[in-house]
């Protein structure tokens, strides 16, 4: 295995890992937002705490 291939593989791995991390954070925030919306719908008075 040549050195450049190793570097490319590592950077690709890091890129994929970052993409997965970012995506999971995005979906986590999205789910949190949906939960917050459902809470606001069920209990509107808490919205203007």
pLDDT in tens, 12-49: 888 888 888 888 888 888 888 788 777 666 666 655 54
pLDDT at res. 43: 64
pTM: predicted TM-score of the whole model, two decimal places: 0.44
Confidence of residue 3 (pLDDT cuts 50, 70, 90): low
Residue 39 neighbours by CB under 8 Å, 6+ apart: 46
* Domain residue extents for the chain: 3-48
pLDDT at res. 7: 61
């Amino acid at each position: 295995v040549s050195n450049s291939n190793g570097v490319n593989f590592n950077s690709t791995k890091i890129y994929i890992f970052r993409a997965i991390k970012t995506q999971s954070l995005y979906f986590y925030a999205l789910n949190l937002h949906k939960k917050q919306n459902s809470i606001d719908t069920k209990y509107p008075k808490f919205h203007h705490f």
